Amino acid sequence: MLPAIGDFEGNLERIEQFIEMAVSEGAEVVVFPELTISGYTWDEAILKRGALFFSEVAKKKLLKLSREGQILIAVGTPRIVLGKLRNSLVIFKKKKELLFYDKTHLFRGEKNVFEPGEYFLVFSYRGVVFGTLICYEIGFPEISRILTFKGSKVILSAFAFGKARGHTYDVATRSRAVENGVFLVASSMCGEGFVEFVGRTRIVGPNGKVMNEIESGEGLICENLDPDAVYHYRYSEEGDSHAYLRNYMSHLYTLQKGRL
């Protein structure tokens, strides 16, 4: 999807259309790109108005769509916490209480407008544990490893990744999946906006192979995921499994005082 910068009502309408498509496909989870409500920008005034629109309009609408469609919705939006802007991924799980993940590792000009988050988010939905991350954070392997150690079988990730760094996007999304034996769902902006975005929304399996992808343009992809398939790739030493978690030597990675 390519949300329009500052067109909050239009972006929400497009989100609703995609949710309806996802529900008609029988999807139980739908993920949108980074800052979908506002469009991706470093303009503080637009982001603040987008945060206000989210809290006053979009939040209520998306909660209603989640309940009616019996679907989990993950959508990127700016929001204000204690007077400071945050770059957030909001999780609607059909209930009144929402989950928020605030981007902890900020990219370039984001550092001038957003306050970083302080924690990583892991949650359970329909018996499956999910983790979350946002865009630039795909390049910090520790985040995905922590999400995995906290029980995540699927990582939901929202992107506004520049096409100029498309090789990094391709390598990092597949690497985080195969390193951790985890499904990675990457919802990505496409087309020409704040920059030219890489697009290539994709679903990556725990073997690091791309299961489904939109090569260009806007659209929706769906896949049936078997969360229990992760155990084969994490712990089995047969066939195409890498068994990285089975052979993980955790004692070697503990930082000791005075040592790197």
pLDDT digits (tens, 9 = 90+) for 63-120: 999 999 999 999 999 999 999 999 999 999 988 789 999 999 999 999 999 999 999 9
Q: State the pLDDT at residue 260.
A: 42
Amino acid at 207: N
257 pLDDT more than 70: no
Model pLDDT, residue 95: 81
CB 215, CB 200: distance < 8 Å: yes
Tell me: the pLDDT tens digits for 191-238?
A: 999 999 999 999 999 999 999 999 999 999 999 999 999 999 999 999
Per residue in 121-172, pLDDT tens? Answer: 999 999 999 999 999 999 999 999 999 999 999 999 999 999 999 999 999 9
Total-model pTM: 0.96
- Give me the DSSP letters along 11-68: HHHHHHHHHHHHHHTT-SEEE--TTTTT-S---HHHHHHHHHHIIIIIHHHHHHHHHH
